[in-house]
Structure 1
Amino acid sequence: GALHDSAERGPHAPKCHPETRTAVQRDIMSWIRHGEEDDAPRRVLWLSGPAGSGKTAIAGTLADECYKTGSLAASFFFSAFAGSANRRVKKPLIPTLVYRLIQHKSIGGLKEEVLTVIEDDPGVFERHMDQQIEELVLKPFRKLAGRSNRRDWPSVIIVDGLDECQGDSECSGADAQKEILYTLSRAGADPAFPFRIIIASRPEPAIRHFFSNSPSLALNIFLDDKYEPDADIRLFLNAMFSDIRRRFNLPSTWASKDVVDLLVDEASGQFIYAATVIR
């Protein structure tokens, strides 16, 4: 249920309204496609912002776009409110990413390498995360080096809602989040690992501390006023009110500019406020 297109997330999973959040999406897509050309390339991008700022909608929209173009390698969407416990804890993360990776026919030989590992060691999924990614991802990709054309491979992994990953009997939520960050950053630093990684989360202390201690690891995009959320929220509200006017045959003066201005002001950059008003 954690995949971007899973039935559990459904057709109403958060996505960006058309023509909104275009600047931040453009910046991230540019990093996915051309990030290796930067003076100091970074394999990880941290998309952060306060609750309700639209991180999951942006991640979902990016996942859809990358899937259409063949550049989405894998995705995982954590959710503290999901019906399935598998979207609230760390254990399914690596198996889910591996499952998606071996579906790509363009990565010739990967499926066979991974299945051999699982046949030889069925308990591999019970290991620590860093051991799982070593055995199921890094070692297989080292064996594939030079065997197929990497230009045809997908290029990005998206992990959303990291701050919503909860603890289990073994560790706290903060410790689970740090373990995930350590595991993914270690993979990103390995020359055999061919993917860029997008991590979206609130700037919770454990996550913020991890990235602040490794400033050269990740490109940080924070959803603040630089990305003009007010203009996007206004566009969203006007489009939704126009739709409501058509559906209920309301006068064109309904939901005046003053009302929209007030709602934009009240939203304070939080898309979730505008979406709640419309609902």
Structure 2
Amino acid sequence: MPLAEISKLKRAPAEHIYVKSKSECLPGMRDKIQESLLKHLKEAGNRFVWLRGSPGTGKTAISMSVASTLKKQGVLAASFFWDKNQAGKGLDSIELFPSTLACQLASFNEDFKLSLVRRLRQPDLVFVQDLPLETQINTLMIEPMRDIWSSGKDRIVIILDGLDECGDQERLGALMELVLAFEELPPIFSILVSCRPEPGVISAWDKAWERVMTYNVKIWTRL
């Protein structure tokens, strides 16, 4: 059964429905920003949309609301909400990031699931989660997507919230390198990144601006 191979992947309870103990945002402000974010995410030229703000200003509440809306529309492919207060669940680190998203994508799309399973059945990928995280992103996400989702009526969205809660600055820098690998996703994908403007995040976007000119990553919403 296809699910047997996927069930062996370790994953974190990172979807928006599991989020706990996060600050709220006034409904009026949340709805206004959500409407703007949804508009940007659905525009073909936008690969990354960055929702930035200080701690406690409601970024996660907005991301959760956007995720819920996109889920109802059937276009939320995956989400990962970090939480430094939930140690031991994989929400305060980056180790389970690739496998968690891969499992969610497999649930979202049957073609991706079958493509992922074919790769997991390769003998040299028995211990895929022991490989470097960069290799895992490529093996578990990028490669299985080749020739999948090349086009479609609606854009598909991945939401990443609270990246600054993944650990220290070194880990945050490493995480942003993994996020930038999503440039290799099919054009139909948009990624909402919600976090504080930490140096590691800003420097990563700087590198993306220098390297990629085909979509606009410089969309900031100040809270």
Q: TM-score, normalised by structure 1?
A: 0.66
Local SS of the residue matching 1:91 = coil
Q: CA deviation at 1:155?
A: 0.5
Contact 1:78 1:162 in 2 (8 A): yes
Classify 1:130/1:116 alpha carbon distance in 2 versus 1 (closer, same or farther; 3 Å). Answer: same
Count of aligned positions: 204
Q: CA deviation at 1:162?
A: 0.3
Counterpart position of 1:210: 204
Letter in 2 for 1:57: A
Contact 2:176 2:200 in 1 (8 A): no
Q: CA deviation at 1:129?
A: 2.1
Q: CA deviation at 1:195?
A: 1.5
Local SS of the residue matching 1:219 = coil
Q: TM-score, normalised by structure 2?
A: 0.81
Q: CA deviation at 1:16?
A: 4.1
Indicate which of 26, 29, 46 corresponds to 2:38.
29
Q: Structure 1 CA distance, aligned partners of 2:80 and 2:37?
A: 18
1:49-108 superposed Cα distances (whole Å, 9 cap, x missing partner): 11111111111111111111111110000011125441000011111111110112xx34
Computed over aligned residues only, the root mean square deviation of the Cα atoms, in angstroms, reads: 2.3
Contact 2:161 2:194 in 1 (8 A): yes
Q: Structure 2 CA distance, aligned partners of 1:193 and 1:125?
A: 27
Percent identical pairs in the alignment equals 25
Indicate which of 87, 94, 104 corresponds to 1:90.
94
Using CA pairs under 8 Å that are at least 6 residues apart, name the structure with larger relative contact order, 1 or 2: 2
Q: Structure 1 CA distance, aligned partners of 2:36 and 2:100?
A: 27
Q: CA deviation at 1:219?
A: 2.9
Q: Structure 2 CA distance, aligned partners of 1:102 and 1:5?
A: 18
Q: Does 1:219 align with 2:218?
A: yes
Classify 1:221/1:145 alpha carbon distance in 2 versus 1 (closer, same or farther; 3 Å). Answer: closer
Gap regions ≥5 residues in structure 2: 1-12
Letter in 1 for 2:116: V
Q: Structure 1 CA distance, aligned partners of 2:52 and 2:119?
A: 35
Contact 1:42 1:219 in 2 (8 A): no
Counterpart position of 2:190: 196
